[in-house]
A and B are shown apart, each in its own frame.
Chain A
Amino acid sequence: MLTKRIIPCLDIKNGRVVKGINFVSLRDAGDPVEAAQFYNQAGADELMLLDINASHEGRSTMLDVVSRTAEQVFIPFSVGGGISSMDEIKTLLRLGADKVSINTPAVRNPNFITEAALHFGSQCIVVAIDCKQKEPGHWEVYVNGGRVPTGKDALEWAIEAERLGAGEILLTSMDADGVGQGYDLAITRQISDALRIPVIASGGAGKLEDFSDAVIQGGADAMLAATLFHFRKLEISEVKKHLASLGIPVRMDY
């Protein structure tokens, strides 16, 4: 039986790991490759390397970080942030990334999802959605690192992304992100119920129960967290023991 995955996210700026609280006020938390190795040994099932500058400053993702990570870390990892061309995807996969995460360029040009999925396979195309609640039951998609509202409904966009060939959805609730009061279970459930592809819940994990709630109430296939793990508020092993104690399948040997 496939396990539920724990995915630490390394937000990277100028080759260093940082984490924005609600996407601003950045704090430095070290070298990304060391952090990746640490999480590999700590039981992470997958890693996300996110170039937080790339999208709005047109910065290309940190190829050197990706290459060095692939030399030291032997679990799957995704790279995101500012990826907008087939050439960039090809380069990242060749350097050893397993998946790429596409956000703003997918919204601007949805055909990019299809083109990428047909060429590289759906399994390596993650569509990242940042959203904010607009009214009860409705969430709006934001792009450019959460700065620009699009008028798109998050559920409708997720369904379209799957239809276009996305292999996975990385769903970040901007309301919950950085607050530490739990994942946004309502939108996670809405989208995971509507889709056949895996949904990664992101934003808001603060305690053990938030992870089990994301699976049981949110229907998530994987849970992403950053601050919580970076500052050792919780260990991945604790999270996995907690999930296992509730009968949720997790990978325990690492």
Chain B
Amino acid sequence: MINFEFLLGHYNYWAVIVLFLIGLYAMIVKKNLIKKFMGLNIMDTSIFLFYISMGDVEGGVSPIIAHGGGSEVIYVNPLPSVLILTAIVVAVSTTALALSLIIKIYEEYGTLDSERLVELMGW
């Protein structure tokens, strides 16, 4: 017995899973080094979405104590967003390093095709 309400109710997780798998697929299948890395970025983005959506509370407002705001206000959980801010910084620095390496690879080898590179390297 499949619980459709449960499955559809968590549509955000489905989006995350689909994005994660698209990213993983691109990393494994694509030959171009830049496309491989774009796959990784898609994968990272899916994880960011996962974090942010899990911190969301239905009907919640941004967690800033407004002037005169009572205690009955529901706030969204700010911690996952804070965590993901750090993770985004990590992803950006990885991306920057990877792209600079890719530039160097293209300068040295004249190609970005991973199969061609493996041939050139003799691995």
| A and B are interacting partners | no
Chain A residues within CB distance 8 Å of chain B: none
Residues on B lying within 8 angstroms of A by beta carbon are none
